[in-house]
């Protein structure tokens, strides 16, 4: 996966944090990821793209309407997560490396469709922002005891 272009949705006039919008050549398929587990958190990274879930097993199966997600661990074990919950990069950054951030993403083949929620490593995002038309940087922001990476305009 490589970045093709990058922009920022600034959400001017709203309380939302700005979000990177990255167009990529491809998004890795779900089967390509190998998950690491810490407590009830599951984290995987492939070519800069990040996927994660929160799931503790039976009794915690109401997320994603109970949908089953077959995954493989970094040890090669096949596990099915039934009804896992999604999470956010701020939570994952407390427990896993590489560090990641929430973004909006689409592939270059989907230029006329809407953006989808996604997550990339900090290093991937730092490469992508080099493609922005305006100079930006990523700054660390504390949010609810977690830290996230947020785009900010570089003022010359």
Give this prediction's pTM: 0.93
Q: Could you tell me what percent of the chain has a pLDDT over 70?
A: 99
What's the rounded mean pLDDT across residues 51-79? Answer: 92
Looking at every residue in the chain, the average pLDDT score rounds to: 94
Domain boundaries, the chain: 3-28+91-153
For residue range 89-130, list pLDDT tens digits in order.
Answer: 999 999 999 999 999 999 999 877 889 999 999 999 999 999
Residue in the block written with tokens 């167009």? 23
């Amino acid at each position: 996966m490589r970045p093709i272009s990058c922009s920022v949705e600034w959400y001017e006039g709203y309380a939302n944090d700005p979000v990177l919008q990255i167009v990529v050549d491809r998004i890795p398929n779900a089967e390509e990821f190998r998950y690491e587990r810490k407590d009830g958190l599951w984290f995987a990274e492939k070519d800069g793209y990040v996927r994660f879930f929160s799931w503790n097993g039976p009794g915690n199966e109401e997320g994603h309407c109970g949908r089953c997600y077959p995954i493989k661990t970094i040890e090669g074990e096949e596990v099915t997560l039934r009804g896992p919950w999604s999470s956010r990069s701020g939570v994952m950054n407390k427990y896993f490396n590489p560090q990641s951030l929430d973004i909006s993403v689409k592939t270059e083949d989907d230029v006329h469709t809407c953006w989808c929620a996604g997550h990339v490593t900090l290093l991937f995002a730092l490469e992508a922002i080099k493609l922005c038309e305006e100079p930006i940087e990523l700054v660390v922001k504390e949010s609810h005891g977690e830290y996230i990476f947020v785009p900010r305009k570089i003022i010359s």
